[in-house]
Amino acid sequence: MNGGLLVAGTTSDAGKSVVTAGICRWLVRQGVKVAPFKAQNMSLNSFVTREGAEIGRAQAMQAQACRVEPTAHMNPVLLKPGGERSSQVVLLGRPVGEMSARGYHGGRQERLLGTVLDSLAELRATYDAVICEGAGSPAEINLRRTDIVNMGIARGAGLPVLVVGDIDRGGVFASFFGTVALLAPKDQALVAGFLVNKFRGDVSLLEPGLDMLHGLTGRRTYGVLPFRHGLGIDEEDGLRVSLRGTVRESVVAPPVGEDVLRVAVCAVPLMSNFTDVDALAAEPGVVVRFVDRPEELADADLVVVPGTRGTVRALEWLRERGLADAIVRRAAEERPVLGICGGFQLLGAHIEDEVESRAGHVDGLGLLPVRVRFAREKTLTRPVGEALGEHVEGYEIHHGVAEVSGGGPFLDGCRVGQTWGTHWHGSLESDGFRRAFLREVAAAAGRRFVPAPDTSFAALREEQLDRLGDLIEHHADTDALWRLIESGAPQGLPFIPPGAPA
């Protein structure tokens, strides 16, 4: 078997990442050697592979669904927004420069088609099947000429296309029909059919509409996936705790101790790797929320200043909103504060940035004895160490180089009292360390909170991925899906006018 499939969507957030992960987990449970692929990802949530390459976290999670190690070939182009109109371009895991949207779509993107097709060919030579994820909608007629992630990659590699639609938003039939009708004839020939996502209610009431859609387009629907709470995987972007709420949507286990622990995460601009707090949200009795006002820190037992693609901009934002003063007061009162990556940098005494913001010399919050200098070379590593007597693993993605001149040691960063700072993302996923850290936080906050002794973050992720696989296995036509992956789009699919504009 040397199969492949492109999972496209009628819109952004239609469920492409979740469906791709679900198909991957379903296939691997059938004994298929499978890999995920996304030619171009735009996200501030990224991950470092074992070879030191930076890729989107969604593709890293999809690789976990496949039970394989992620590689740069699974996400050869990653765009990391640095503002409204520019992004850092990461090519095969390494940053190659900043570029405006106009410059990227004006020619650079089109030149990358060969690179992404080579990466896809490398995966297809290694795996039995490659499940590809598109981006946004394949019917962005203004961007089709330079497209390398939707129909560009489908046509270049001869992949069948499955279009996912979020019926919970409404208008799914119009979205399915319109998506096909705005594609050129050669693109339409690859669109095999549809998958309805997030359906609530009686499927029998939907079936007449699916029959009508088949009559209008000549294309079948491969499944109707029911709405399920808390099914997200690591998000590309957004303000949502991806593992459980999801927190507000799913059943939260009661605390083991007498008290809950309240965690406030500062929703800084260009927030990156906010998935760091997923492991906290997975703990029974830990309540995580994102905040943007100083009064929301008042009852927090722990304040987290997360990573950001714009450290200086985030620092200015904290000061403008009064959050900076509130954090400084907390530190003076020995109330816990944790800074991760960019959040760690702005807790320091001084920042010298001629790379990211080009702001030059900037004073930090002065809570940690750290001076940060931004280097043009990005640090991309997977460190392993020990803290609070526990084994810890993480990953680093940053331009800022920290010079620590005091305080206690903490994951290559430092701590002063109850203010902690580290460049390590993902450290809280180490179960023993997370429990030890939460015990320290609870003691400092005066809370009778006790971490659950048996919470395994890795096991929770596996359960999540199995739930996605179950969703495909139980609610999609897996025989038809298998034929599609193995043999490609059906022959003789009709053209739906008007097609793409000239």
What is the mean pLDDT of each successive set of 10 residues along the chain, which is 502 residues long? 92 92 97 96 91 94 96 95 80 85 63 91 96 94 91 95 95 96 97 96 93 97 89 53 38 76 94 89 91 93 95 95 96 96 95 88 95 93 95 95 93 95 96 96 95 92 93 96 96 95 86
Q: What is the pLDDT of residue 152?
A: 93
The total number of residues shown for the chain amounts to 502
In this structure, is the dihedral angle defined by the CA atoms of residues 430, 435, 441 and 447, taken in order, positive or negative?
positive
Please tell me the pTM assigned to this model.
0.90
What backbone phi and psi angles, to 5 degrees, belong to 380?
Answer: -135, 100
Q: What is the pLDDT of residue 106?
A: 59
Separation between Cα atoms, residue 77 and residue 73, nearest integer Å: 9
At a CB cut-off of 8 Å and minimum separation 6, what does 492 contact?
none
Helix (H) or strand (E) holding 344: helix 342-347
Q: What is the pLDDT of residue 102?
A: 65
Separation between Cα atoms, residue 145 and residue 267, nearest integer Å: 36
Q: Where are the beta strands (DSSP E) in 322-395?
A: 337-340, 350-353, 360-363, 370-381, 384-387, 390-393
Q: What is the pLDDT of residue 255?
A: 82
Separation between Cα atoms, residue 161 and residue 8, nearest integer Å: 7
Let me know if 341 is a catalytic residue.
Answer: yes
Catalytic residue of the set 341, 398, 399, 414: 341
Separation between Cα atoms, residue 15 and residue 12, nearest integer Å: 8
Q: What is the pLDDT of residue 250?
A: 38
Catalytic residue of the set 73, 399, 425, 475: 425
Let me know if 132 is a catalytic residue.
Answer: no
